[in-house]
Homo-oligomer: A and B are copies of this chain.
């Protein structure tokens, strides 16, 4: 039983790696275990690592007029960091926090840069994963433009049933771009088609 099984399955969707490249990665990552509500990256800190969520759900939010605005809930087996801060190495305005107990595979920026510079296939992986994340992000913009909150909620239920089960409704509402009370009302009056 390989601890890296989830991560490797995910990675191999994008690039076929040789064994030494995989080893180089394994030598440079750290495992990080977060309890529910523990913080991965705090607002004001510099995002020095990026994480792969091997287990659990993270929430990305920032403070807007004293209110936490949830921008993202990371699906299982995906990457998470405060990217603007990670790229620029300036303080982050976003906070990333564990919604459930989490098991993260993290890599420091300098180690990732080392992989990028040393192994062209890792740089290629970086490009492809970013393309994918961008496309997904665009899909979400379409959803905001064309779908009502009810439709967005139904799709979330359909695509991420586990997530809905484990994540409090406040955060789901934030992710959908509506208030908790609106989500609650919408759940009551929903026709299930």
Binding site for B on A (CB under 8 A): 62, 64, 69-72, 83-84, 87, 116, 120, 123-124, 126-127, 130-131, 133-135, 137-138, 140-142, 144-146, 174, 177
The answer to whether B144 touches A83 (Cβ under 8 A) is: no
The answer to whether B83 touches A142 (Cβ under 8 A) is: no
- Select which of B62, B87, B134, B174 is within 8 A of A133 by beta carbon: B134
Q: In the complex the two chains form, what is the Cα distance from A74 to B174 in whole Å?
A: 28
User: Which chain B residues border A146 with CB–CB below 8 Å?
Assistant: 64, 69
Identical copies in the complex: 2
- Select which of B83, B127, B142, B177 is within 8 A of A127 by beta carbon: B127
Interface of A is mostly: helix
Q: In the complex the two chains form, what is the Cα distance from A177 to B70 in whole Å?
A: 20
Further contacts, 16 of them, CB under 8 A, given A116-B127, A123-B123: A62-B142, A70-B145, A71-B138, A71-B141, A84-B135, A87-B131, A87-B135, A116-B124, A120-B120, A123-B124, A126-B127, A127-B127, A127-B130, A141-B144, A144-B177, A145-B177
